[in-house]
Amino acid sequence: MQDGNCGREPYALRVLDDSMSPEFREGCIIIINPEGVIVDGSYVLAHYQEEYIFRQLVFGDGVYILQALEDGHEIIEMSDLSAIEGVIIQQAGRRRSERKHYVRLDGRP
Protein backbone atom coordinates (compact mmCIF):
# COMPACT_ATOMS: atom_id res chain seq x y z
CA MET A 1 0.00 0.00 0.00
CA GLN A 2 1.22 3.49 -0.75
CA ASP A 3 2.00 5.97 1.97
CA GLY A 4 -1.24 7.84 2.65
CA ASN A 5 -4.01 6.48 0.49
CA CYS A 6 -4.75 5.50 -3.08
CA GLY A 7 -5.53 8.88 -4.63
CA ARG A 8 -8.72 9.46 -2.62
CA GLU A 9 -10.64 6.90 -4.71
CA PRO A 10 -12.25 3.82 -3.11
CA TYR A 11 -10.03 0.72 -3.15
CA ALA A 12 -10.22 -2.93 -2.09
CA LEU A 13 -8.19 -4.92 0.44
CA ARG A 14 -8.32 -8.53 1.62
CA VAL A 15 -8.86 -9.22 5.33
CA LEU A 16 -5.80 -11.12 6.60
CA ASP A 17 -6.91 -12.32 10.03
CA ASP A 18 -9.96 -13.20 12.12
CA SER A 19 -9.97 -10.12 14.37
CA MET A 20 -13.19 -8.82 12.78
CA SER A 21 -15.06 -12.15 12.77
CA PRO A 22 -17.85 -13.07 12.49
CA GLU A 23 -18.90 -10.01 10.42
CA PHE A 24 -15.73 -10.08 8.28
CA ARG A 25 -14.11 -13.47 7.76
CA GLU A 26 -10.44 -13.94 6.99
CA GLY A 27 -9.93 -13.70 3.23
CA CYS A 28 -12.98 -11.58 2.47
CA ILE A 29 -12.60 -8.42 0.39
CA ILE A 30 -13.51 -5.03 1.84
CA ILE A 31 -13.98 -1.77 -0.05
CA ILE A 32 -12.51 1.32 1.63
CA ASN A 33 -13.53 4.90 0.87
CA PRO A 34 -10.83 7.37 1.96
CA GLU A 35 -13.43 10.16 1.71
CA GLY A 36 -16.05 8.24 3.72
CA VAL A 37 -18.01 9.88 6.50
CA ILE A 38 -16.79 8.72 9.91
CA VAL A 39 -19.56 8.02 12.43
CA ASP A 40 -19.75 6.17 15.74
CA GLY A 41 -19.68 2.44 14.95
CA SER A 42 -18.02 2.78 11.51
CA TYR A 43 -15.68 0.07 10.34
CA VAL A 44 -12.42 1.81 9.46
CA LEU A 45 -8.90 1.31 8.18
CA ALA A 46 -6.36 3.03 10.42
CA HIS A 47 -2.60 3.53 10.37
CA TYR A 48 -1.34 2.50 13.81
CA GLN A 49 2.25 1.78 14.89
CA GLU A 50 3.58 1.50 11.31
CA GLU A 51 0.80 -0.94 10.30
CA TYR A 52 -2.61 -0.67 8.72
CA ILE A 53 -5.36 -2.18 10.85
CA PHE A 54 -9.06 -2.82 10.26
CA ARG A 55 -11.28 -2.14 13.28
CA GLN A 56 -14.61 -0.76 14.44
CA LEU A 57 -14.48 2.84 15.63
CA VAL A 58 -16.41 3.73 18.78
CA PHE A 59 -16.78 7.27 20.09
CA GLY A 60 -15.94 7.35 23.79
CA ASP A 61 -15.97 10.13 26.35
CA GLY A 62 -13.32 12.46 24.90
CA VAL A 63 -11.55 9.57 23.17
CA TYR A 64 -11.93 7.45 20.05
CA ILE A 65 -11.63 3.68 20.40
CA LEU A 66 -10.56 1.16 17.78
CA GLN A 67 -11.78 -2.31 18.69
CA ALA A 68 -11.81 -5.72 17.09
CA LEU A 69 -15.04 -7.69 16.95
CA GLU A 70 -13.25 -10.86 18.07
CA ASP A 71 -12.31 -10.98 21.78
CA GLY A 72 -8.66 -11.04 22.81
CA HIS A 73 -7.38 -8.24 20.56
CA GLU A 74 -5.89 -4.95 21.72
CA ILE A 75 -8.28 -2.03 22.27
CA ILE A 76 -6.70 1.16 20.96
CA GLU A 77 -7.59 4.60 22.32
CA MET A 78 -6.89 7.70 20.22
CA SER A 79 -7.29 11.40 21.04
CA ASP A 80 -8.22 12.32 17.44
CA LEU A 81 -9.12 10.75 14.09
CA SER A 82 -5.86 11.50 12.26
CA ALA A 83 -4.95 7.78 12.06
CA ILE A 84 -8.12 6.93 10.11
CA GLU A 85 -7.30 6.23 6.46
CA GLY A 86 -10.80 5.39 5.28
CA VAL A 87 -14.22 3.94 6.02
CA ILE A 88 -15.25 0.43 4.98
CA ILE A 89 -18.26 0.90 2.72
CA GLN A 90 -18.77 -2.60 1.39
CA GLN A 91 -17.85 -6.23 1.86
CA ALA A 92 -17.52 -7.92 -1.50
CA GLY A 93 -18.63 -11.50 -2.00
CA ARG A 94 -18.73 -14.01 -4.78
CA ARG A 95 -22.51 -14.08 -4.71
CA ARG A 96 -24.82 -11.10 -4.58
CA SER A 97 -26.28 -12.42 -1.31
CA GLU A 98 -22.80 -12.26 0.29
CA ARG A 99 -22.31 -8.56 -0.49
CA LYS A 100 -22.95 -6.11 2.33
CA HIS A 101 -23.00 -2.32 2.30
CA TYR A 102 -22.11 -0.37 5.46
CA VAL A 103 -23.07 3.17 4.42
CA ARG A 104 -25.59 4.62 2.02
CA LEU A 105 -24.43 6.51 -1.05
CA ASP A 106 -25.16 9.80 0.71
CA GLY A 107 -22.67 8.86 3.47
CA ARG A 108 -25.20 8.08 6.18
CA PRO A 109 -25.13 4.67 7.94
pTM beyond 0.85: no
* CATH fold of the domain at 11-101: Umud Fragment, subunit A (2.10.109)
- DSSP letter for each residue of 50-107: TEEEEEEEEE-SSSEEEE-SSTTS--EEESSSTTEEEEEEEEE-SSGGG-EESS-TTS
Radius of gyration of the chain (CA): 13
The mean pLDDT value for 82-109 works out to 73
Q: pLDDT (tens digit, 9 = 90+) per residue, 46-94? A: 999 999 999 999 999 999 999 999 999 999 999 999 999 999 999 986 6
pLDDT at 5: 47
pLDDT at 1: 37
Question: Domain coordinates of the chain in residue numbers?
Answer: 11-101
